[in-house]
Amino acid sequence: MTTLVVLLGLGLILLCMGLCVAQEYERALVFRLGRYAGRRGPGLYWIIPFIERRTTVDIRTKTVDLEQQETITKDSVTIKVNAVLWFRVVNPEDAIIKVANFNQAVYQLSVTALRNIIGQHQLDEVLKERQQINATLQQLVDAATETWGVKIEMVEIKDVEIPESMQRAMAREAEAIREKRARIIKAEAELEASKKLTQGPARWKKAPWPWSCAACRCSPKSASTTTRLPWCSSPLSSPIWPAASPGAVGHCGIVSGGEFCEKARCNDSVAPGFLCAT
């Protein structure tokens, strides 16, 4: 009777020793006497004590900060680059059986791929085409880690540090580009102004009166001031004011007194703002 109780107690102890629990984000790989026996979890499972052992794998997405790498671009510029890597285990069996330490292996492979891909691009491409470089880097690393049961979800270049001398050179280049744009805009404005000026003679021929008498506009003077205005030698014909008699020639006369020159009579045609006489 005592022996039976002891055996039952030992069996109960062994049964409790073999009980294991795997979390929802974990998978357990069971090895029986050194050979792979299967996957367990999530939840409660049992292994044979002293005969089977288990290895737990976390299948959640992991974030790895790749340390800063000093490398040379395709155009021989030394820069420092660091990046961030996101990956997860999709096949726990391959991640444990085919590679000794999949975390370290993924990290070293990502660092090497980062240095290689930076060396294949020029500095301007690294600064401007960062999304394309990230996508290419992800494809390279993912293709290499696929046999390890690891999925590379995303790779992002976090920071690019360039030498101070190169920063000054890039600033001068940007300043030169802005100055070039300013000169182009100014030249276009001058070209537009020249086109407008060439249209003046054509419009003068069509309506000479308003153009020639524009020089005869009076300026404000005091009542005791006498102002002599320049001559107007255009025929008094205009679509705005009634035409003068045939052959009449207009000219600016003398203004005596008055604070403002509001009207002038020119062959019985009133032209506001001008002083003309025949």
For the chain, the domains span: 15-58, 62-166, 208-278
Question: Is the pLDDT assigned to residue 209 strictly greater than 80?
Answer: no
- Give pLDDT tens digits for 131-189: 899 999 999 999 999 999 999 999 999 888 888 877 777 778 878 888 888 889 888 88
* CA atoms within 13 A of residue 225's CA, in its CB half-sphere: 12
For the chain, the average pLDDT equals 76
pLDDT of residue 166: 74
What per-residue confidence (pLDDT) applies to 171?
78
pLDDT at position 172 is: 82
Task: For 192-205, write each residue's pLDDT tens digit.
Answer: 888 877 776 666 66
The yes-or-no verdict on residue 219 having pLDDT over 50 is no
Indicate whether this model's pTM tops 0.85. Answer: no
Q: Which CATH superfamily is domain 62-166 in?
A: Band 7 domain (3.30.479.30)
Categorize the per-residue pLDDT at 278 as very low, low, confident or very high, splitting at 50, 70 and 90.
Answer: very low
Q: What is the pLDDT of residue 162?
A: 86
Instruction: Give the pLDDT confidence score for residue 255 in this predicted structure.
Output: 40
